[in-house]
Amino acid sequence: KQEVTQIPAALSVPEGENLVLNCSFTDSAIYNLQWFRQDPGKGLTSLLLIQSSQREQTSGRLNASLDKSSGRSTLYIAASQPGDSATYLCAVGNYGQNFVFGPGTRLSVLP
Amino acid sequence: DGGITQSPKYLFRKEGQNVTLSCEQNLNHDAMYWYRQDPGQGLRLIYYSQIVNDFQKGDIAEGYSVSREKKESFPLTVTSAQKNPTAFYLCASSIASGGANEQFFGPGTRLTVL
């Protein structure tokens, strides 16, 4: 059964810093991996979807990479801003199965 | 605007009551999902539907029921059999079911048991 972990559970950084969030999964036979942002009390906003055949995807200051063989994905945020403060969740999709979500990393960017 | 709507935003339930959470989408997606989110935990799948008039249990279906009479709508009923229903409930949809398809989420409903 697929298990997804995210470390660290929480992270505080000063504004302007580049940072990396980690997502690990146990079954490497995935079809795709999706990164989400969640603000307090809100739904999930899709940030990036990376297919298993891709190594990375970019959107603005965000870059997601995928290493299936090691069971890891990273979300890189460049030049962080206070508006980036939120919880970031990854979800792993295996073909024919539903997504499995990680517990999230709570990010605080301090002005 | 295309998207997913959930209502109400906040819901309070007394012991022994059944309550229904609404989820509507205008994305023309076949698949719809209900998740439960508890503090410090990832989302857990309650029920999902691949197509109209069809639905399957997820990982934590006990105490919940759903229907899918229309493509756009997938209401969730939290029954009195659900012993710990206080949580944040999220509805999602995708073009088709399974982990191959990007999921889109609604704004959520927070349910509190009084």
Percent pLDDT > 90 in chain B is: 78
- What's at A62, amino acid-wise? L
C-alpha distances out from residue A18 to A24, A47, A61, A84, A93, Å = 20, 17, 10, 12, 27
pLDDT digits (tens, 9 = 90+) for B12-41: 988 889 999 999 999 999 999 999 999 877
Instruction: Identify which of B6, B90, B102 has the shortest CB distance to residue A49.
Output: B102
Instruction: Identify which of A4, A89, A98 has the shortest CB distance to residue B98.
Output: A98
Which DSSP helix (H) or strand (E) runs through A33?
Answer: strand A32-38
pLDDT digits (tens, 9 = 90+) for A14-45: 999 999 999 999 998 898 999 999 999 999 99
The answer to whether A43 contacts B107, with C-beta atoms less than 8 Å apart, is: yes
Average pLDDT, chain B: 93
Q: Which residues of B touch A (CB under 8 A)?
A: 4, 6, 33, 35, 40-43, 45, 48, 58, 88, 90, 92, 97-108, 110
pLDDT digits (tens, 9 = 90+) for B43-78: 999 999 999 999 999 999 999 999 999 999 999 999
pLDDT score of B99 more than 80: no
pLDDT of residue A57: 94
